[in-house]
Structure 1
Amino acid sequence: MNGRSYRGMSAEERLEERRERLISAAYDLYADPGFPETTIERLCAAARISNRAFYECFSGRDELMQTVYDRCVRETLEEMTKAIDQAPDTLASRVKTGVTSYISFVTGDRRRARIMHLEVRRAGDCLTTSRQSAVEAFIRTIESNVADLPEVTKANQRLLALGMIGAVQELLIEWVLADDPPPVGRLIDTATHIFHRAFVT
């Protein structure tokens, strides 16, 4: 690839622009109709690029899915951490703030909720490492925000955090798949109740 500019963009800038178009297309298509149903040809048509250009950006659908999923996780963690940092130093406040920010942000865009909680599983083995890394990141976030509070149980906090993450994931899968999804406020109240009961001494 040479460095000559085209329409005012360098080769590197053109490559990055195509990558972002593919990521945007994948964000739509991996959410609906879903990862298994989305072909490279369909992604290229949506992004308005050639198949050859696709492979200049990504090795295949799996790598593109990993990129989209990792970005969703990173943005959600940033939103959640920012909210918790501003919460009072009590278990009730941190739990309520963390749960509210997570569920509100994820459900704020149904595509994000579906990719993070349903399509990541449908993608299979190619997303196992990314999914494990995401779970570890959320475990660390939970542990770091409850460990120093006096009212928190001294039981294995890692296992409690893992169990709570699983509970929230199932609540959000129900929200994504239900014909009549439960109100987001009810999801928040349910998850907050579970978290608080799990961690309080």
Structure 2
Amino acid sequence: MSTLRTYGGVKGDHRRDERRGLLIEAGLDLLGDPEEPTLSVRGVCQRSGLVSRYFYESFADRDALAEAVYDHVVKELADTTLRAVNAAPATAEAKVRAGIENIVRTVADDPRRGRLLFGTPLASRPLAQRRLRSARLFASLLTAQAREFYGLASDEQVEVAAQFLVGGLAQTLTAWLAGDLPLDQAQVIDSCADIFLALAARRIT
């Protein structure tokens, strides 16, 4: 594919990437709406300030945009969580707390992300499948981190524990964001970190 021509000192492919970013952000606004999470090409264009031809420049339809929004949010969360864990001191408690704190604060500081990942029911089948895949992704990341930190060989029990912890964390955040758990951020982080560490100690010792 040829590079789009330069206009106003900015290359066309860069402008296209910027427009795509605006559409993804607008899609996140709509999918993360607390009242009525709906997504339409018209609504996204209105929210982003772009005309429809720019929508179809990047996405085939609204489902393609919804999938891109979800993938964008999951990738950012995975990347920032891994950076937080890797930057933490080399103790199990510090690394567990760093990872959980990043996840909790991310979905709390930007409620749109929280509602998309853990709140709103996903009527779209592709998005529901992506939610399942994201759970597998975080379980595999947790498994890899645990094996590296503890020097473990391949162990089915570690994989079972990782699936259990990721699923439990997701359900906890779902309940917390819905207001069913009367806890503040610090309490959620502390409680989840304690559970992670307790299970890790049980599996390792």
| TM-score after normalising by structure 2 | 0.82
Matched, 1:149 2:150: yes
Partner SS for 2:60: coil
Q: Could you tell me whether the CA contact under 8 Å between 1:29 and 1:43 is conserved in 2? A: yes
Unaligned segments of structure 2, at least 5 residues: none
Q: Could you tell me whether the CA contact under 8 Å between 2:175 and 2:181 is conserved in 1? A: no
Give 2:172's aligned residue.
171
RMSD: 2.8
Task: Tell me whether 26-35 or 66-75 shows the greater mean CA deviation.
Answer: 26-35
**Counterparts of 1:32 and 1:138, CA distance in 2:** 25
Q: Could you tell me whether the CA contact under 8 Å between 1:143 and 1:158 is conserved in 2? A: yes
Task: Tell me whether 54-63 or 133-142 shows the greater mean CA deviation.
Answer: 133-142
Partner SS for 1:178: coil
Cα distance, 1:170–1:5 mapped onto 2, change above 3 Å: same
Q: Could you tell me whether the CA contact under 8 Å between 2:85 and 2:98 is conserved in 1? A: yes
Identity of aligned residues (%): 27
Structure 1 stretches of 4+ with a deviation exceeding 4 A read 33-36
Q: Could you tell me whether the CA contact under 8 Å between 1:73 and 1:134 is conserved in 2? A: yes
**Counterparts of 2:131 and 2:15, CA distance in 1:** 30
**Residue 159 of structure 1: how far off its partner (Å):** 1.5
- Report the AA paired with residue 183 of structure 1: D
**Counterparts of 2:85 and 2:4, CA distance in 1:** 44
Give 2:14's aligned residue.
13
Unaligned segments of structure 1, at least 5 residues: none
Give 2:130's aligned residue.
130
Q: Where in structure 2 are the equivalents of 1:26-175 lying within 5 Å?
A: 26-33=27-34, 36-119=37-120, 121-147=121-147, 148-149=149-150, 156-175=157-176
